[in-house]
Amino acid sequence: MGEFEVTLCSDGTYLLDGGAMFGVVPKTMWSKRTPADELNRILLGLNSAVVRTGKHTVLIETGIGNKQSAKMREIHRNSPQLPASLAAAGIRPEEIDIVLNTHLHFDHCGWNTTLHPDGSVTATFPNARYFAHAGEVAHGHLQLDRDKVSYLSPNYDPLIESGQMTLLTAEGVRANPEIVPGISVEEFPGHTAQMLGIHIASRSHGGASEHACYIGDLIPTAHHLDPTWVIGYDLDPVRCIAERKRFYARAIPEQWTVLFTHDHHTPAARLSLNDKGKPVARADWQIRVPPVSAGAQLP
Ligand SMILES: [Zn+2]
């Protein structure tokens, strides 16, 4: 992408309830786009992006990780594989110098830290500075009935205690959104109150700028592009609809490459409007991957 190299890696796939992922959308509609198994679960990806800017190696999002209980792994049918995926791309954990989390739900920051057989938890990326939103940490620590199962403190508390994780504030993000040159963050509230989108902006050799955006759970898959097809887990679905429209107002005319965190099949696409005026993945500009060989599978 311009002068940057962007590599899509993955912590594999997992299963979630299809109804929860599509909120109020009827199953008769969403199941045409993504099939459900006999337990009503759909297959989702856990996509990370590694951006080599020339000066920095930035990891966006770290999947589910290896701290899940056997029971949770049985429910989600996931098989942690981000370290192997990074190794396959020739990326050593020591090279990563920036780690960014869009928010701190368990399926976005799991490999921030690694659980060892002796029960200890250490930073997976020893030389990285980690960044997350202070509001996400505060919300996770509240352990509210609605979403406490999504916030697992071993994914971030050890990094905060060691000083390796920098907590961003709303004022800080607005005043100084750039993390390193070419990589910046922006709040897209709704899924959580402070969810961050990650902008990747590079000049191409010809001088034109290229823009990609890792939009986190505001738009988890290419099946969720309709502004009203928001997720059941969203804390504020009405805000999500407004934020999606705000996103499309720039992403479509400026032809951003949109990176989808949970789409195992189409991890990236540029967008256009179809004949009904709805945003869709451009047929002539999307990255498609064949079904993965490890992790959750639908029959
Ligand atoms: Zn989430």
Average pLDDT over residues 258-270: 97
pLDDT at residue 299 greater than cutoff 50: no
Find the 218 Cα to ligand 1 centroid distance in Å.
8
pLDDT (tens digit per residue) in 89-135:
999 999 999 999 999 999 999 999 999 999 999 999 999 999 999 99
Instruction: List the beta strands (DSSP E) in 74-208.
Output: 98-100, 113-115, 121-123, 129-133, 165-168, 178-180, 183-187, 196-203
Annotate 108-128 with b (16+ C-beta within 10 A) or e (fewer): bbbbbbbeeeeeebebbbeeb
Find the 107 Cα to ligand 1 centroid distance in Å.
7
Average pLDDT over residues 180-209: 91
Cα 27 to Cα 24: distance, rounded to the nearest angstrom: 9
Find the 204 Cα to ligand 1 centroid distance in Å.
32
Find the 120 Cα to ligand 1 centroid distance in Å.
26
Find the 186 Cα to ligand 1 centroid distance in Å.
16
Q: Is 253 helix (H, G, I), strand (E, B) or coil?
A: coil
Cα 63 to Cα 165: distance, rounded to the nearest angstrom: 17
pLDDT (tens digit per residue) in 8-61:
999 999 999 999 999 999 999 999 999 999 999 999 999 999 999 999 999 999
Residue 294 pLDDT class (50, 70, 90 cuts) = very low
Find the 227 Cα to ligand 1 centroid distance in Å.
17
Find the 57 Cα to ligand 1 centroid distance in Å.
24
Find the 156 Cα to ligand 1 centroid distance in Å.
15
pLDDT at res. 14: 96
pLDDT at res. 296: 55
Beta pairing, strands 165-168 & 129-133 = parallel
Rounded to the nearest angstrom, the gap between the alpha carbon of residue 129 and the centroid of all alpha carbons in its chain is 18
Find the 104 Cα to ligand 1 centroid distance in Å.
7
Q: Is 69 helix (H, G, I), strand (E, B) or coil?
A: coil
Find the 151 Cα to ligand 1 centroid distance in Å.
10
249, exposed or middle or buried, with CB in 10 Å at 0-12, 13-18, 19+?
A: exposed
Instruction: Give the chain's mean pLDDT.
Output: 95
